[in-house]
């Protein structure tokens, strides 16, 4: 099956073009509050010989959120060390703690962490000036090439995870690609399909052709008619947390609402000044009204769950279906092999939207030249087709490839069907649809997003617990976000 996502044309004469265009900027100057490196010892370098061995003896520190590909790499860094002679030390933290640690490290002027898990919203957008433009390294003839070039990465992910404002600069390479999709108990849908169809008046088989109103009807049907099999038809990650913003956004976008004007552009490439918040629009309020109504029939514990909570409830047999990140497929298949299927999320009155949560790997601009070269070797290796395939097979991780070429491998295509040695590939059809340019859900990539996000999920939580009506919540968020954006951001 061919990818239908939009593509950029092939890159012309990569090294020649980039070398000429970037010669003056090869030593990236860090501004905007990030200090210079100061005097310290660089990594060792051997001038001649194998490009992959030139920094042997170096040590890299990689700071990451605890994600599937990082778990897989952490379980087996030996292939990289054998290839390069470089030792990699990996620190994994919860995302908020990671952001704080990265911000301090960038401000210090000394790269304690050379390789950074650069979350697009909480690291890339606010601290872009503290990251190396990777084109400088891709253009260096003394360093290994990036297999397949930038064009091999799925285009929407390359922009969302790797760029900020400038459509040409590359600050991170797409590393993971968690995406929210519809996860459902296939065994229960098979068991009750005919009864549901008769009672509801439509085919309940999950797909992006289903509407959110139909999803509501299916959930309510399970609540009333299948209590011997599951306690609730649906559950959600609706805790007062980042997870609530993610869960709500899928509905918001499908109803035609958005956080700012030109929402797709602000989500894909980002903006330093996105303009006024648009959550007070009629479409946004309608989306909030539906979301409140949907949560009123969902498992009441939803307001205490993030993605891990709803994932555990689904695997525990408590729910017939839920929206959740597609990489939970690996654990679903361990606990309920053959009982779960996957679809893109339902559509609203305007469209379907599936929240993308992917992140890229970047390099601290505080690195010294040899450190930077060693870090580039790690980025090239960690995002290479071979490593992505190994991560997909790993028992310690799972992950999902960010490169088109990996999905085209015969063994990966075969893994889309059961029995699958790569259970995340069972979601391939759903995420392939979700990653299309008109269906991928991209939250605003703005420097002040973290503070805006807190305002969003705080007011949404008030709405779900009866403290505010949907209209009051949306207008309150708009007011607070406008204040945050007007104040601006200084990194």
Supply the angle between the helices 449-464 and 242-254 in degrees, to the nearest 10: 80
- What pLDDT shows up at residue 30? 34
pLDDT band at 47 (very low <50, low <70, confident <90, very high): confident
Residues 217, 317: Cα–Cα separation, whole Å: 20
Supply the angle between the helices 449-464 and 282-297 in degrees, to the nearest 10: 50
Non-local CB neighbours of 413 within 8 Å, separated by 6+ positions: 1, 407
pLDDT digits (tens, 9 = 90+) for 456-481: 999 999 999 999 999 999 999 999 99
Say yes or no: do domains 14-178+358-408 and 180-355+441-487 share a fold.
yes
pLDDT digits (tens, 9 = 90+) for 217-274: 999 999 999 999 999 999 999 999 999 999 999 999 999 999 999 999 999 999 999 9
Is pLDDT at 20 greater than 70 in this prediction? no
3-state secondary structure of 167: coil
pLDDT band at 399 (very low <50, low <70, confident <90, very high): confident
pLDDT digits (tens, 9 = 90+) for 321-346: 999 999 999 999 999 999 999 999 99
In CATH terms, the fold of domain 180-355+441-487 is D-Maltodextrin-Binding Protein; domain 2 (3.40.190)
Which has the higher per-residue pLDDT, 31 or 335?
A: 335
- Residue positions counted in the chain: 491
- What pLDDT shows up at residue 336? 96
- What pLDDT shows up at residue 2? 26
Is 451 within 8 Å of 130 (Cβ atoms)?
no
pLDDT digits (tens, 9 = 90+) for 140-191: 999 999 999 999 999 999 999 999 999 999 999 999 999 999 999 999 999 9
Residues 306, 237: Cα–Cα separation, whole Å: 4
- What pLDDT shows up at residue 22? 34
- What pLDDT shows up at residue 394? 87
Q: Residue 120 gets which letter from DSSP?
A: I
Half-sphere exposure of residue 155: CA atoms within 13 angstroms, side-chain side: 15
Phi, psi (deg, nearest 5) at residue 211: -100, 165
Is pLDDT at 124 greater than 90 in this prediction? yes
Average pLDDT, the chain: 91
Task: Please tell me the CATH superfamily of domain 14-178+358-408, with its number.
Answer: Periplasmic binding protein-like II (3.40.190.10)
Where are the domains positioned within the chain? 14-178+358-408, 180-355+441-487
Residues 390, 347: Cα–Cα separation, whole Å: 34
Nearest to 294 by CA among 240, 250, 356, 339: 250
pLDDT digits (tens, 9 = 90+) for 404-427: 999 999 999 999 999 999 999 999
DSSP string, 426-475: GGHHHHHHHTSTTTEE-----TTHHHHHHHHHHHHHHHHTTSS-HHHHHH
In the block, which residue shows the tokens 């947390």? 241
Is pLDDT at 7 greater than 70 in this prediction? no
Which tokens in the block code for residue 103?
């911000």
């Amino acid at each position: 099956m061919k990818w239908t996502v939009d593509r950029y044309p092939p890159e012309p004469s990569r090294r020649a073009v980039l070398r000429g265009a970037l010669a003056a900027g090869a030593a990236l100057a860090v501004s905007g509050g990030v200090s210079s490196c100061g005097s310290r010892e660089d990594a060792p370098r051997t001038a001649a010989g194998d490009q992959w061995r030139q920094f042997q003896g170096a040590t890299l520190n990689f700071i990451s959120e605890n994600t599937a590909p990082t778990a897989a790499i952490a379980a087996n860094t030996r292939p990289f060390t054998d290839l390069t002679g470089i030792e990699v030390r990996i620190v994994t933290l919860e995302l908020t703690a990671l952001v704080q640690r990265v911000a301090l490290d960038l401000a210090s002027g000394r790269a304690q962490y050379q390789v950074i898990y650069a979350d697009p919203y909480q690291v890339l957008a606010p601290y872009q000036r503290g990251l190396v433009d990777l084109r400088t390294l891709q253009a260096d003839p003394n360093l290994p090439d990036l297999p397949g070039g930038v064009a091999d990465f799925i285009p929407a992910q390359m922009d969302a995870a790797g760029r900020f404002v400038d459509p040409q600069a590359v600050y991170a390479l797409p590393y993971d690609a968690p995406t929210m999709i519809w996860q459902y108990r296939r065994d229960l849908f098979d068991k009750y399909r005919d009864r549901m169809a008769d009672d509801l008046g439509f085919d309940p088989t999950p797909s992006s052709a289903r509407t959110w109103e139909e999803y509501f009807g299916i959930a309510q049907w399970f609540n009333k008619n299948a209590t011997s099999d599951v306690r609730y038809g649906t559950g959600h990650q609706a805790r007062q947390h980042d997870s609530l913003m993610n869960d709500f956004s899928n509905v918001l976008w499908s109803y035609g609402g958005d956080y700012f004007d030109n929402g797709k552009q602000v989500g894909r490439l980002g903006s330093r000044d996105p303009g006024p918040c648009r959550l007070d629009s009629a479409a946004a309020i309608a989306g909030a009204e539906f979301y409140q109504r949907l949560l009123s029939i969902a498992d009441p514990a939803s307001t205490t769950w993030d993605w891990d909570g709803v994932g555990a409830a689904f695997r525990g047999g408590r729910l017939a279906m839920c929206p959740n990140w597609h990489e939970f497929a690996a654990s679903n298949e361990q606990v309920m092999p053959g009982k779960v299927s996957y679809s893109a999320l339902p559509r609203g009155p305007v469209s379907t939207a599936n929240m993308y949560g992917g992140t890229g790997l970047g390099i601290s601009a505080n690195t010294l030249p040899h450190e930077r070269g060693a870090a580039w070797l790690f980025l090239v290796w960690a995002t290479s087709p071979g490593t992505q395939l190994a991560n997909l097979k790993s028992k310690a991780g799972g992950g999902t490839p960010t490169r088109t070429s990996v999905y085209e491998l015969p063994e990966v295509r075969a893994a889309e069907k059961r029995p699958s040695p790569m259970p995340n590939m069972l979601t391939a059809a759903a995420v392939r649809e979700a990653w299309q340019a008109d269906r991928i859900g991209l939250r605003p990539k703005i420097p002040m997003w973290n503070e805006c996000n807190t305002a969003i999920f705080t007011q949404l939580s008030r709405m779900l617990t009866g403290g505010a009506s949907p209209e009051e919540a949306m207008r309150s968020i708009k007011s607070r976000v406008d204040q945050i954006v007007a104040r601006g951001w200084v990194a």
